[in-house]
Chains A and B, each alone.
Chain A
Amino acid sequence: MAELVNLTIDGISVRVPKGTLVVDAAKSVGIDIPVFCYHPKLKPVGMCRMCLVDIGTPKIDPATRQVVRDEKGQPVIVFGPKLTTACTTPVSEGMVVRTATEQVRAAREDVLEFLLASHPLDCPICDKGGECPLQNLTMAHGPTVSRFDYDLKFHNDKHVPLGDLIFLDRERCIQCGRCVRFQSEIADDPVLQFHDRGRGMEIVTFSDPPFDSYFGGNTTDICPVGALTTADFRFKARPWELKTTPSLCTHCAVGCNLALNTRLETKTGGYEIKRVMPRQNEQVNEIWICDKGRYVHHFTRAEDRLHYPLIRQDGKLVETTWEQALRIAADRLERPSAILVGDRIANEDAFLIAQFAKAIGAALEQRPALPAHYADVARAVGIGSDADFKQLGAGDVILVVNGDVEEEAPVWFLRLRQAVVDRGAKLIVAHHRSTKMHRYAAAIHRYEVGQAAKWAASQRADWLQGARNVLIVFGDEHLDGSSARALAQTLANWLILGGFAGKPNSGLLPLYPHANTQGVFDMLEHATRPANETTDTLWLVGVGADEPAPRANFIIVQDILLTERAKRADLVLPALSFAEREGTFTSGDRRVQRFYRALPPLGEAKPDWWIVQEIARRFELPWRYEAPAQIFAAIAQQVPRYAELSYERISRVEPQWPPMGREDLYYGGTVYDNTGGLGARYAADAERSALSPYDVHVPEPTLAGLERTPRLLYRDGELIRRSAVLRAHIVAEPLTA
């Protein structure tokens, strides 16, 4: 436990850890000291002067080094001649802070008057209007009238593109530098800086390409004015028109918590996602999300979303009824069948599919197929259920093997980088190519493409000895199934033999391709049976276009979009996207989290679990589930690892630090408070019982793995292609160097 310090703020006694800043100490007892440049996730700079307060400290007798006391025995407090910035001053024992004096009030008013002198006051057309810290703090602390002639207002460039995704309005900017510091301190992509000084100071980029950071959208959230806006949201809606629904990102294994902002649109006659925002979960994504998660949502209202079931007649797909579609599907599934399941569908869907496949004796496989070769190992020696990325630091070793963390799990990149750069964890990287993680590595290992398992097998496991914790992040880039399994097992053995397995902040962290790779594996595990050449009917549930599938006489495609695959199907079943339904995903670190319905259903499309259940009922399976919550209860009963979990438990929220959202909008930026649940991790096998090391067979790598494109963030795919703002960023070519 850190050393605690006692102080008084506006007469309230406060006890906080040594090193806490006055602004945070005040916040912890509900006293809001207004700030612009300060952000609890960034290093303080004291630039905006908004947080000026009156700070006094006990008078010390220079001779005795003792606190001087008055006749009543109380310490004599000496206040400084001037006000002090609360955001740069750490607390000290006996400190007395006054935030409500006339001097402080006048200082706040003066600072706001200076800021507003250069501010265009175009709130009526500003995207931040309604959720703007400058508006809020002006209402709370600012002068009621301006002493400046409006016509003499300082003007500057508007609509300056810093890249194709972010626009800068130079006259709205108050030069707080939050965006500059975010890009330098958090994203380590310092493409924004100040230029010039005084009145001429402005934010510039001189990088090539310009502002094209994977995390750039976050700068628009923490911008305390409407200076930075995204190409996706600017001029699209006013904040007060938006409805907010807790959701999850489906695009990688991190499981970032999202808030979907929707609005009823007369033009299209329904609700639409206007903006995707981060939702605070300090255990998962803190308050950040990557740009893919922020901008890729347009597929939810793509023109080729499926509204009705389609059946092939005379070579063409034509609309049909659910009754007919379900009857045909059931009829065809009477024959030798295979079901392939994508890893973006919810646990509830996958659970029913597994039960169904078992009941009718159908083959069942997960897609992409590769993670199923090692997901059991990753789960067995996964990080502890109480693991906390914030605790990783000095004394810990982070090992990244065959993974490109920034590309495959961007927010984990932010978290691991901070553990290394800010808190002193030792990073070791092994890969066949360079990644951004290499910048922070204390040691770098290289091997030939596809040889990760062989490299790992050649290492001595005792090199991790002496570490406090060992976190091993690994990916399957350019590996085939047996190599990926051998790699996972070798890494697991290091943890088991080194005594790290089962420790909270030690374990494997797999870079799975999608949001529910682990969950789908957990649900399918005991029903999985490979498809063979006898397949007559093939049912593809949310399977990517480039995934291999066995030949079949009749192909049923269940998807949300008329994908290339759906266009070639015999029967197409329209599913609802994650935004139109609820369910749960299990992240790469085994956190089971809920997502909620943000949009009304589209046409006659149905949730995947409903479709499966309706087909199953035609096989006389006695299912009568009305909602995912009931299915999850069945999962908790039948899937042992999920036994401790329930919707009630994973929906639980508790206060998080720093406070975000609600009234603290102006303190942290436009992040959303978590009302949907923080989720819960199920225990790794190693936490329940001691594991014996795996018997590893390292195979000769085959070409199968080499042909696969690396999992780059903006790799081409059916979903990203439907997001116009991201189209220019799509990487179609495999990465070589």
Chain B
Amino acid sequence: MEAHHLLREKRTSEIEAILAKYPPERKRSAIMPLLYLAQEEYGYCSPEAMREVAEILDLDPTEVKSIVGFYTMFFEHPVGKYVIDVCDDLPCALRGADQFVSHCERKLGIRAGQTTPDGKFTLRTVMCIAACDRAPVIQVNRVYHYDMTEEAFDRLVDALANENGTGEAPNEQKQGLDVL
């Protein structure tokens, strides 16, 4: 099998820092942090990235693929620069999430699950993301935006479409979540 070294070359110290958190005989526990790192580097968990993570952790590539497949926040296919997750679970639905999703689709010109042709936005519907008290709620690249309205969504998308920044949205109600 051909070896993949890209991640190890580019993110050497971060990989070492992650591995250092786990006992050597349990290093498979580092699978999720390494996948986040790979996703950060490549934008998604590419086949090459999954194989490289498997090599780093002495796992079979199928075991890595299985983890990526289980968790919705790992992407197996390329996604837009901004991944917009709209919750349409029960509390959000009671606050009009279904209608809101339709609006998002119209605004972006794509269906949920698709990416805009310019590669800027991916729209997904997701299960509960634990902010029911401020429904409807969305996440843009893991940053929460609460009490969403159609107008707020349009403002947000327009702002993101016009800037070349970091994925930080111009919304005072956002809140970060550091998964690493």
Contact = CB atoms under 8 A, between A and B. Distances in A.
A binds B: yes
A96 to B, nearest CB: 38
A552 B20 CA distance: 69
B113 to A, nearest CB: 12
Contact of A204 (B47, B59, B62): B62
Interface string A501-526: 00000000000000000000000000
Contacts of B64: 206
B13 interface: no
Interface stretch (B65-73, B115-123, B146-154, B157-165): B65-73
B1 A208 contact: yes
Interface in A142-196: 189-196
A607 to B, nearest CB: 46
Given A204-B65, A208-B1, A191 B70 contact: no
Contacts of B51: 208
A196 B70 CA distance: 4
A204 B47 CA distance: 14
Contact of B62 (A196, A197, A205): A205
A207 B64 CA distance: 10
B50 interface: yes
B65 A195 contact: yes
Contacts of A191: 60, 62
Given A206-B50, A208-B1, A196 B61 contact: no
B41 interface: no
B61 A195 contact: no
B63 interface: yes
A77 to B, nearest CB: 39
Contacts of B66: 193-195, 204
Nearest to B59: A190
A190 B62 contact: yes
Contacts of B59: 190
Nearest to A194: B66
Main secondary structure of the interface of A (DSSP, over half): loop
Interface in A203-219: 204-208
A208 B64 CA distance: 13
Nearest to A191: B62
B61 A206 contact: yes
Contacts of A189: 60
A189 B59 CA distance: 10
For A192, A205, A207, the residue with the greatest tally of chain B CB atoms inside 10 Å of its CB is A207
Given A204-B69, A206-B50, A193 B63 contact: yes
Interface in A346-375: none
A208 B66 CA distance: 15
B69 A194 contact: yes
B70 A192 contact: no
A207 B69 CA distance: 15
Contact of A190 (B50, B63, B69, B70): B63
Contacts of A193: 62-63, 65-66
Nearest to A197: B70
Given A196-B70, A208-B1, A190 B60 contact: yes
A207 B60 contact: yes
B94 to A, nearest CB: 22
Nearest to B67: A193
Given A206-B50, A208-B1, A195 B60 contact: no
Interface in A61-76: none
Contacts of A197: 69-70
A194 B63 CA distance: 9
Nearest to B64: A206
A208 B61 contact: yes
Interface string A243-268: 00000000000000000000000000
A531 B51 CA distance: 56
Contacts of A205: 62
Contacts of A196: 69-70
Nearest to A200: B69
A206 B70 contact: no
Contacts of B69: 194-197, 204
Contacts of A194: 66, 69-70
Interface string B50-89: 1100000001111111100110000000000000000000
A195 B70 contact: yes
A191 B63 CA distance: 7
For B59, B61, B69, the residue with the greatest tally of chain A CB atoms inside 10 Å of its CB is B69
A196 to B, nearest CB: 5
A134 B61 CA distance: 31
A193 B47 CA distance: 16
Nearest to B47: A206
A96 B47 CA distance: 51
Contact of A192 (B1, B50, B62): B62
Interface in A605-659: none
Nearest to A206: B65
A668 B134 CA distance: 51
Nearest to A188: B60
A223 B76 CA distance: 28
B18 to A, nearest CB: 22
For B1, B62, B64, B70, the residue with the greatest tally of chain A CB atoms inside 10 Å of its CB is B62
A195 B64 CA distance: 10
A197 B126 CA distance: 13
Nearest to A439: B58
A610 B122 CA distance: 76
A206 B76 CA distance: 13
A528 B114 CA distance: 77
Nearest to A205: B62
B30 to A, nearest CB: 17
Nearest to B50: A206
A80 to B, nearest CB: 28
A204 B61 CA distance: 11
Contacts of B47: 206
B55 to A, nearest CB: 11
A605 B1 CA distance: 47
A439 to B, nearest CB: 10
Nearest to A196: B69
Nearest to B58: A439
A190 to B, nearest CB: 5
A193 B64 CA distance: 9
Contacts of A208: 1, 51, 61
Nearest to B69: A195
Interface in B73-113: none
Interface string A296-321: 00000000000000000000000000
Q: Give 8 closest A-B pairs by Cβ, nearest first.
A: A193-B66, A195-B69, A206-B65, A206-B62, A190-B60, A196-B69, A206-B61, A193-B62
20 contacts: A189-B60, A190-B60, A190-B63, A191-B62, A193-B62, A194-B66, A195-B69, A195-B70, A196-B69, A196-B70, A197-B70, A204-B69, A206-B47, A206-B50, A206-B62, A206-B64, A206-B65, A207-B60, A208-B51, A208-B61
Interface of B: 1, 47, 50-51, 59-66, 69-70
Given A189-B60, A197-B69, 7 more contacts: A190-B62, A191-B60, A193-B62, A195-B65, A204-B62, A204-B65, A204-B66
